[in-house]
Structures are given as C-alpha cells and as structure tokens.
Amino acid sequence: MPLKKFRKFMGFFQTRGADKPEYVEVPYAEQFDKGILLCNKCGARLDFGESLKVENCRSCGTAAFIPMRFKEYLIYKPLGGGGEGFVYKARRANSEERFAVKFVPPSKRSERKLHERLLRDAATISAIGPHKNIVELVESGEEDGNAYLVFRFVAGERLDEYISRKRHLSDRRALNIAMQIIEAEKYICSRGFLYRDLKPENILLDKNGNVKLCDFGLCIPESEALVHGLAHDELEGSPFYLPPERIIGRSEGQFSEIYSLGMILYHMLKGETYFSETEINELVAKHIEPATGKQMSEKLSTHNPKLVALIENMTAQDPAHRHQDFGSMMKDLKSIEDEVVQKPTLFLQTKTRKIKISELKNNA
C-alpha cells in the first residue's frame, strides 16, 4: 500500500537526549514583568528576543528560553512538540503549582485546522472525564484566535525516557505499567471512545511511578473506529506500534489497542522496539508482512514464558488471534503478575555444546 504522507505526531520525531539544548529555566515572574531577564548560569542580563524562542547568553553562551505571559500563566520552558502542537511548562502567578500549556506551533498558527484539532482534543478529554491514569485538563479555549490546552503538570518522565534510562525493565515493573495503561484504556472505552495512539511518548510516569496517559489527538468514538477504515492514502499514528488493521484500512477495536500495548511491553522488556527499520514505509510494512528472522519468544528468552506467550498473543497480525477486550487482558496480566511476585525467576536458555576435556586441562 503506497503511503504518500505519514503524519508526524509529537514524540516520534522529537529531539532527544544529547541533541537537546541545555535550557536554563527562568521562572521568575516578578523579574520578567519588570523587563529583566538574567542568565541562571552566570547572572548576566539577557537580551529580550521573541517570546517562546531560545536566545544564547552573550556572556557564557548558555541557551536560555525567552518566557511569555499568557493569561494568568508565565510560560518559561519548552517540554516538547511536533507538527501538531508545542507543549510548554508554566506557572500561575503567586503559585508554585506547575502546568503544561499546549499551543499550535508558531510557524503553523495560520492553519485553522490545527486550532480546530486542539479544540476537538479538549472536547474529547472533557467528554471522557477525569481518571487517575489520564492527564488532568485544567482549561482550554481560544485566545486571540489561538487554541490552547492547559494541563496539570506531571513531574516525572515519559515512558520512552524511563526505558532509555533503565535500559530495560523487569517483568514485574513492565506488568505494573501495562496494567495501569489497561485501566486508563478501559475507562476511555467505558466513556465510548478508543484511544488509538498508544506509544511510550504518550505515557507519562510521575515520581511515584503512576501512569498518566496524554495526547488524545487520534482518540475517536469506539463506534466510529469499528467502521473507520482508511478512507484516503494517509496514515496516522506512531509506526513502531501501529496495529496492522489500521494499515490495511480495517475496523479497529480494543484488540487494536492490545496490539500496540504488546509492542510496548516488548519495548519495555527488551529496551528496544521490535522493529528497527529506519525508513517509515519499510517500518510500517513490517506490521503486515509474514514474520522473518528471530521470533519474539527467542528475543525474550530470559523472561517469564507465560508473559512472553501473552505478548505473542497480543501482537498477532490477525486480530481474531488476540485478546478481544481489556477485561480478559487484565485478568491474564494480573495472573502473570501474581506468579512473578510470588516466584521471581530468571529464565535462561543454554545451548548444548561439545567441549574437549584436553582444552579444559590445558586451561586449568
């Protein structure tokens, strides 16, 4: 299937790791309102440039983000973004509480459809309602023709950053995260929606390890997803975790979310994505091509066999061969977690080899 355009959503095409500038935070509202901005590293006065841009300190060269007043918020640090929206860290006047504010990228503010998309996101999140495993929307609307969303800031890190820092996760920790994701997904479906953008970049972990699902740009009514199909030659989602049925334009349901979660579980356990192609078309095609090379059970041979078998079930190309709903999925995850907690075991595979006794004696 030709893919003329693959939409780039926040996270997959984000700048990461060592490529990020070492921004200096400048959260001092009183100082900023007086027209004074000091470099936090050397104390030199910074030149005011365009708001929400990065300027280098003339004295020490440190990159400093130029804050902006927005309503009662002071926006003072970029958090990430892509073609659909940029997210910034902010604080409210006379408060230490932090927020995440999302705008349409400055370079695309003339594109009305992006503002409408943000407003639809806000309407979807409001319709779904609050849940412990979903980011909290504080307010949304339009200001001078610019759509915005304000969320309660989650102090922690994204799941992809957490995996990168830990290198890979234990069976127990991966199961715990997966079950929290299922809790959020179950709630979203109970409100009549299907999330449809499950990837580590959209999963936040607070300082206590609690999951917070964010970014509802692809979330649509579940009834619509069942008859959605691919109406045009344009694919939406993150290519590492796309369910095969979306690629070929068939109905999606809870079984599709389960596929994406299976790919994330593999990523958590292995520390890398299941598919590693760099070309987008090749990467997407992998989800619908016959499997080649090492099977998942071989790649995860040191992990709990029941968990590995479950992940293989979750990532079956044929939706009929997967778990069909979050309830049965949660039941099996909980059963495996109970076993892992009670009897943590490292499963190792060894190969039979011929060893010459003479070589052992020579090395003694």
| CA angle (13 as vertex; 133, 51 as ends), nearest 5 | 85
Q: Residue 47: helix, strand or coil by DSSP?
A: coil
47: Cβ contacts below 8 Å, ≥ 6 apart = 55, 58
199: Cβ contacts below 8 Å, ≥ 6 apart = 11, 12, 160, 237, 238, 240, 241, 260, 264
Lookup result for tokens 């929290």: 180
User: Could you confirm whether 197 is annotated as catalytic?
Assistant: yes
Task: Measure the CA–CA gap between 178 and 29, rounded to whole angstroms.
Answer: 40
Q: Residue 7: helix, strand or coil by DSSP?
A: coil
Residue 51 near residue 128 (C-beta atoms within 8 A): no
- Considering 121, 171, 197, 215, which one is annotated as catalytic? 197
Q: Is 146 left (phi over 0), alpha (psi -120 to 50) or beta?
A: beta
Task: Measure the CA–CA gap between 64 and 229, rounded to whole angstroms.
Answer: 45
Dihedral sign, Cα of residue 264, residue 268, residue 274, residue 280: positive
Residue 241: DSSP 8-state: T
Residue 200 near residue 131 (C-beta atoms within 8 A): no
Dihedral sign, Cα of residue 214, residue 184, residue 118, residue 140: negative
> Checking DSSP bridges between strand 98-103 and strand 220-221, what pairing results, if any?
unpaired
Residue 143 near residue 70 (C-beta atoms within 8 A): yes
What SS3 string covers 135-176? CCEEEEEEECCEEEEEEECCCEEEHHHHHHHHCCCCHHHHHH
| CB-count burial class (<10 Å; 0-12, 13-18, 19+) for 351 | exposed
Active site residues: 197
